[in-house]
Structure formats: structure tokens, C-alpha cells
Chains A and B, each alone.
Chain A
């Protein structure tokens, strides 16, 4: 009984971590490496989740040859039943959602960067993204045909429901989520430990100089935001399928800043750092939520959700005072070029202090 509970806590924490990891990695790619002030992470995360809900609901009707109101209890039943009996729908809707969510998020990211590309000040793009995030949330919240507006869409079916009971399906889905996160990590790590990563950092450090040395800043920036947004979209789809529910109000701008906190605590411009920051934030989030439940049953009047913000604030202060680059700050981009100089020549001690 207790073991079951521990397993389920570990699995849920692991899943939330995996999703959070993808988001933090993508922000680190955008801001940590390229210096893009993306204050609209939640927009792309949300777009993925909304796309997942929309696709699942509409494909269920299509497969069943019916047209029930997707927000009704009957539709929820229909989705879950169809997923149990029809593997093509279960897996197909998931894959369609994955494609739709990531491409939609990527394209919106591309559109927003292109529209602000002519303005060199990075914070303008940041504000545009922040506003776009809130706008999309409010639109989805008030326009029912997307994901049932205010109430949200219930019953996004686990794509592995046809294999066995809900428990087994969750295990399979968890394995999938972790695999996707791991692939994201490996790709990001490899992509940025290269001349490409060096170019991204150079653009971050000095736009004028990077452009004077032949780097096409606008093109690279669009590319970065396209891929970063796609990753966030994927995270959104996984999130929606994992919790089986999507509602607009889950995607407030506070989430954006949670992702920022994860990156800033962990290490800006260092994917291992970002991964550890994401772990810290996820564990803190899960722990306070679990504690909150226990405290409620014991009638202790402490609101852990706010305690969490206090802890985050204190952590931020401590890290910024003593390790301004994050827990694992950025180092040199160790391409094979360093082999000519001997790796030992790089003074790592110096990197930690600044």
C-alpha cells in the first residue's frame, strides 16, 4: 500500500520532471545560448496542450462516426472507450496531436519572431511573447470550440489504454515521456556543443560583432525560436496526455517564470545546469503539493503553494548572491578544437567565479 503510493509519487514526479526538463532545455537554448528573452514560454507549452485536446476530441468523433458535443460526459466516455478498443485511434490521435502541437507552436513562434525581427531590442520580442501568451490563454478560455472554454476538456485518452488497465497504460506513457525527454536532452546537448552553439553564444554576447563576422542573426534567431517553440509544443502535448485534461487557466504566465526560475537556478547556457534546475523546481513543486494535501487532512492552516513561492524566492536570492551563473554555470564549448591546446589548459576555476 505504502509502496504503491511511493511508486506513484516517483512516477508522477518523474513525468513532471521530464516535461519540465524539455521546457527548461528549450528556454536555455533560446535564452541561455542565444539571449532571446522568451517571456512567452507558456504560450507554446499551452499551444501543444490545446492542440492535443482538440485533436483527441475531434478524432474520437471521427473514428466513432458520431458527432457528440466534445465537452459532454458522453464524449468523455466515447473517447476513453474508443481508445480502449481501437489502437489506431489511441496511437493515431497521440501522434497527430504531437505533430500538430509541435508544428503549430513552431509556426506561431516563427511568426512572432519574424514580426519583431527588424527591431533589434530583444525585450520587445519578450513583451510581444508575454502578451501573446496571455492573449491565447484568454481566447481559449472564452472560446468553447477549442477545448471547452472555462471548464476545460476532460478525458484525453492515454494512448496505451488498449494494452491494459489504466495503471499499465500510465507506465507505458511514462516510459514514452521519459524517452522523449532524454532524446531532447541528447539532441540539445550535441547541437550546442558545436560551432553552432558557439555561434549562438556569440550572437548573445555581441550582435553587432556577430553580424560583422558574417552570421545572419535574423535567420538564426527565427530558427532558434522555431525549434525552441516546437520543443515546448511537444512538452505541452505530453503534459495534456499525461494528466488527461487541458484547461486554459493552467497556462498562466506564472508558468513561464517557473521555467525561467528553473533555468536561472540551474545554470544559464549549460544544459546539465538547466536539467538540475528543472529537477529542483519539479521536486519543490511536487513536494509542496503533497505536503499541502497532508496538511489539509491534519487541519493545519498553512498554504503550501505560497510557501513554495517563498522558498523559490529565497533560493533565487542565495543562488544569485553566491553562484550568479546558476548551480552549474556555463563553461567553454568543448569542441575538438581544444584538443590542440590540451583540455587541462582551460582553467575551470576561473569559470566558476564570474
Chain B
């Protein structure tokens, strides 16, 4: 399988604590990858390093053959990696629909000298709005489209986080606990949407998730992190068969 993301020997330290300790992994194009591990095992830090929010202490990251470690987040985003956050980082005073319309790249209306001339960006805006409307429909958020993001429930905030990354038309999407705090049937729905997007656009997903029942059903490959180290990887069924999962989560 063609590799879309290659992480090589990444180390990230916080005040002496190795949050990520020499992690290397390869992500194939078009896959749905799960990342699991106990709290504090470095999953979110790994996402922060890949998306450029944090700079790694050492190591290299290649995205589609191009080295991206150390680039600022907006440049990495423009290369095609979008992410959601574990704790929703919405634009709280803005309506849900405006939260959805922010991510798309190359919006003509976001350029200062085009902005006052509505005619130059109107058609693009309407296309994006159509897309946002459909996505909101899929995520069952259509009823709250006009509410401020601060006025929707916690679960809806998570859904909006996921919805925003989908508006970005990226090649690789990093989702940090997309179903935490979401009702089981809708969580299942989210994974179905994820898979349908993968099939439709050939997107690649990396998903941090604690809900193994759902993740193991839908993910095609799992990475297990513990104390900053990558200690196991493989297909869900193989990982479930081995004892390592129980060791990490339940202790010996």
C-alpha cells in the first residue's frame, strides 16, 4: 500500500518527561487507523506533533514524501492534514454554520481585497454552504445550524468538531476521540460516515478512541501506545487475540 504519512523516530519531551519516545509508524493511503493507549500514553501529543501544534524534539515526519515536521500548523493544514481536538476548540460566539464554513481552503472571500466584492466569492460561498448543509444533515446538527457553538450540547460540540474537519477536504484526517460523550447509535453513525467518506474520496483517517467496541469494528489497523512508546500494532483481530492489550489496560 502506498504510504501517505511516515513518522520516523519522533521524540517529544515535556519538562523531562518523554511524552513520545522514539515512535515510528507508517500510514497507508485510504486506511482507517486506530490509535489506542491508556491516558497519558502520548496519543494526543502525537497528533499535536503531526499537525504542527507542537514541534518534535527529534525525528522526522513525511507527508506524501514531503518533510513536514517543524512547519507551522497552517502550512501543514494546507498540505492536506486536518484534525479535530479532544477538547472541542470551537469558535464559540459564532453560529454552527459559520464554524463549518471556516475550514475550507482557498476561499476567495477570505482575501482582503476580494472581501468587499460579494460577486467575486458568492458562488464559492454557496457551494460551500451546500456542502456544509449536507454534512450538518449527516451529523444530525441541521436543527442547530443557527445557534452559537456555545449553545449546543457537549455531544453536538464533538460532532461539530468532526464535521469541521470534513469541510476541509483534506487527504489525511486526525480525529481525537470523535465519539467521546456521544450516544452509541450516533457514534456508530459517525464511523459509518467516516467509512463512506473514505470510500468516496479516498481519505485516510487516524482516530484516537477509547471506545474499543466501536473502534475495533471499524478500524483496519491499530497502533497501541503506552508511556510514549509504540508497543504493538496490527489488525484489530490480531491485537485482540494477543495478551498485550490486557497487560497494558488491566495490569499483569
Contacts and interface: CB of A to CB of B under 8 A. Distances in A.
Nearest to B150: A354
B126 A339 contact: yes
A338 B97 contact: yes
Given A196-B111, A336-B118, A336-B129, A212 B145 contact: no
A335 B146 contact: no
B19 to A, nearest CB: 18
A11 interface: no
B115 A197 contact: yes
Q: Which of A197, A214, A217, A345 has the most CB of B within 10 A?
A: A214
Contacts of B82: 212-213
Given A337-B101, A340-B133, A205 B73 contact: no
B122 interface: yes
A214 B78 contact: yes
Interface in A283-325: none
Contacts of A201: 91, 93-94, 98
Contacts of A187: 116
A323 B122 CA distance: 33
Interface in A328-345: 330, 332-333, 335-341, 345
B38 interface: no
Nearest to A348: B146
Given A208-B53, A212-B51, A341-B133, A346 B146 contact: yes
Nearest to B89: A209
B110 A202 contact: no
Nearest to A212: B73
A141 interface: no
B148 interface: yes
Q: Which of B108, B115, B133, B145 has the most CB of A within 10 A?
A: B115
Q: Which of B92, B110, B151 has the most CB of A within 10 A?
A: B110
A347 interface: yes
A198 B112 contact: no
Interface in A175-229: 187, 190-192, 194-199, 201-202, 205-206, 208-217, 223, 227
Q: Which of B77, B92, B98, B111 has the most CB of A within 10 A?
A: B98
B145 A213 contact: no
13 contacts: A194-B110, A195-B101, A195-B115, A202-B94, A206-B90, A208-B85, A209-B90, A211-B77, A223-B112, A332-B98, A347-B146, A351-B148, A354-B93
5 tightest Cβ-Cβ pairs between the two chains A and B: A195-B109, A337-B129, A196-B115, A190-B116, A205-B91
Interface of B: 51, 53, 72-74, 77-78, 82-83, 85, 89-95, 97-98, 101-103, 105, 107-112, 114-118, 121-122, 125-126, 128-130, 132-133, 145-148, 150-151, 164, 168
